[in-house]
A = this chain, B = another copy of it.
Amino acid sequence: MKLHQLRYLHEVVKQGLNITNAAEALYTSQPGVSKQIQLIEEELGLQIFKRNGKRLTGLTEPGQQILNLAARVIRDIENIKRVGDEFSDAEKGMFTIATTHTQARYKLPAAVKAFMNQYPQVKLNIHQGNPMQVAEQVVSGEADIGIATESISSYDELLCLPCYHWNRCVVVPNDHPLVHGGPLTLEKLAAYPLITYDFAFTGGTLVSKTFSDAGLNPNVVLTAIDADVIKTYVSLGLGVGLLANMAYDAERDINLTRIDVSHLFADSTTYLGIRKDAFIRGYMYGFIELIAPHFNRQAVNAALKTSD
């Protein structure tokens, strides 16, 4: 069995069972990929892929298990290379953060700036996505760490460290009736068309639960993953915006009025997620400490230790 074969398998699945695309992604020829897959199936004495004639149509049951193991092997090989990089030049490397728009735009910039000063030789990548995508990028190893709220803690490949608490605010145009409408309640809020994050009402998230516990069914007219998009549509008078407190910028958003709603919703916690079995480079510890000062290197390692 060769490492190459496992990589090929992995890529074929990643490319939706398309050998041609996988070969392209791997910068190699497609007959080569085809051949190696046949070879490993022959060596293991079973079919990994379900086939309809020559087309791949799915994974067999053992194939699925083999793929999970192959993925771990590939990650470990990656980890070995990182150990090499870390010790040959600790200050140099790549670092990919997966996060949501709100974090990337309003919470991370300070940490990112400090990080880039501290580690000028590290190439930093920020991947943006909804919380589920963030979690999956970290699980798959596409991103080194993920920063998002709540939902990432359900993956048990990930170690989740609480970073900070936050709550929400409502933003409305300055001439909106809510501006002078007295203390805000859930009932009042539910009476207006709402514009908020597109994942706020998927699954049992805190916002949707708060409304439904109060027997309310808010009228969400528009959703986006992007706080700036939400604010734009609020400015146009299309509805009332409900977003993270940190996403309101008093200087920039002068055409909008912010109304705190901490009393209506429980605090949320933003978590930092990292694969339990990943090799953590020195600068990654550095970044973690920048955004969550209570997690220094020792604290992270301790959390990793107890999570097994």
A198 at the interface (CB under 8 A from B): no
A48 to B70, CA, bound (A): 25
Q: Which residues of A contact B (CB under 8 A)?
A: 1-3, 6, 43-46, 60-62, 65-66, 69-70, 72-73, 76-77, 79-81, 83-88, 156, 279, 308
Min CB–CB distance A62 → chain B (angstroms): 4
Do A69 and B80 form a contact, CB below 8 Å, given A46-B87, A156-B308, A308-B156?
Answer: yes
Known contacts A45-B88, A46-B88, A69-B83; 14 further A-B pairs (Cβ under 8 A): A1-B77, A2-B3, A43-B84, A44-B81, A46-B84, A46-B87, A60-B87, A62-B87, A66-B83, A66-B84, A69-B79, A70-B80, A72-B76, A156-B308
CB contact under 8 A between A87 and B69, given known A1-B80, A156-B308:
no
Among all A-B residue pairs, the 7 with the closest Cβ atoms: A44-B84, A45-B88, A62-B87, A69-B80, A73-B76, A65-B83, A156-B308
A141–B70 Cα distance when bound, in Å, is: 18
Give chain B nearest CB distance to A69 CB in angstroms.
5
A85's nearest neighbour on chain B, judged by CB, is: B45
Asked whether, in the complex, the Cβ of B45 is within 8 Å of the Cβ of A62, the reply is: no
Query: Main SS of chain A's interface residues?
Result: helix
Residues of B within 8 A of A2 (CB): 2-3
A84 lies within 8 A of B279 (CB): no
In angstroms, Cα B46 to Cα A199, docked, is 46
- Kindly list chain B residues whose C-beta atoms are within 8 Å of the C-beta of A76: 69, 72-73, 76
- Minimal beta-carbon separation of A298 from chain B (angstroms): 17
B-side contacts of A77, CB under 8 Å: 1, 73
Rounded to whole angstroms, the CA-CA distance of A125 and B43 in the bound complex is 25
**Is the beta-carbon distance between B81 and A1 smaller than 8 angstroms?**
yes
Instruction: Answer whether A84 and B69 are a contact pair too, CB < 8 Å, given A1-B77, A76-B76.
Output: no
Bound-state Cα–Cα, A6 to B79, Å: 13
A156 contact set on B, CB distance < 8 A: 308
How close is A88's CB to chain B, nearest CB, in angstroms?
4
